[in-house]
Amino acid sequence: MPQLKPLHETFNDGFLLYGYDTTKRENGKRVGEEFTQEGKLAFKLMSARDQDYQLVGALNATLDLKVKTLFPPRFRSIKKTKMKCVIDDVKYDVINVDWDSDKRYLYFYLQEVGKA
């Protein structure tokens, strides 16, 4: 008997906070950057394939983590360049965000940058 695919995938590896770094200023002077959260998504850890490493290598980055999330409708209008993610108090640069042909899932390619 063939194996049936589950109707719903489980995203129970944790939560990914996504947003952007905004410039923090005091008395008009730039004193650093601060993560500003735009949203939160449950994710599932994915294993990276050779072509994932090639894609990221072509962008002069390193792939530290690949995760899969549901594709929220409001994500279509979000600017994905310069996006950051925080997972378990670790901040990541979003190298690339890809989606499947049905636009049901997002794949985040992440490079670790340090503590959040």
**Rounded distance between C-alpha atoms, residue 27 and residue 30, angstroms:** 8
Cβ contacts of 110 within 8 Å, gap of 6 or more: 63, 64, 65, 66, 67, 85, 87, 92, 93, 94, 95
67-112 pLDDT, tens digit per residue, is 999 998 888 888 877 899 999 999 999 999 999 998 899 999 999 9
Question: Which residue segment(s) compose the domain that 97 sits in?
Answer: 14-115
Q: How many domains does the chain have?
A: 1
pTM, rounded to two decimals: 0.86
- 4 part of a folded domain: no
Spatial contact of 16 and 84, defined as CB atoms under 8 Å apart: no
37: domain CATH number is 2.40.10.270
**Rounded distance between C-alpha atoms, residue 99 and residue 70, angstroms:** 9
Spatial contact of 96 and 109, defined as CB atoms under 8 Å apart: yes
